[in-house]
Amino acid sequence: MMESVFETDKKIVIVDCRGMLPPDPMVAVLEAVDSLKVDEAVLMIHRKEPFPLYGKLGPRDCDYLVHRQDNGDVQLLIWKRDEDR
């Protein structure tokens, strides 16, 4: 299991999509995002950057960080925006 490159105090829910075929990565991550609690974040691990996903996160009140790894894999940390912002 890969560790997150991100530092966060949130509980991380890992969704490893490297072995999935479309549309399964998008479906799996959005299901995880839709059930996120305030103290949780989703860590998506994928073999490529999920560009179509980005447009679906804003309407769900989510922010994200992307880290591209040397081996080509991508880690994407997704969390709900703070309501007091």
- DSSP secondary structure letters along the chain: -PPPSS--SSEEEEEE-TT--TTHHHHHHHHHHHT--TTEEEEEEESS--HHHHHHHGGGTEEEEEEE-TTS-EEEEEEEPPTT-
pLDDT, tens only, 32-74: 999 999 899 999 999 999 999 999 999 999 999 999 999 999 9
In a domain, 4, yes or no: no
What's the number of domains the chain is made of?
1
pLDDT, tens only, 10-19: 999 999 999 9
Residue 23 has pLDDT above 80, yes or no: yes
pTM: 0.91
Domain range for 60 is 11-80
In a domain, 23, yes or no: yes
Where residue 65 sits, what CATH number does that domain have? 3.30.110.40
In a domain, 1, yes or no: no
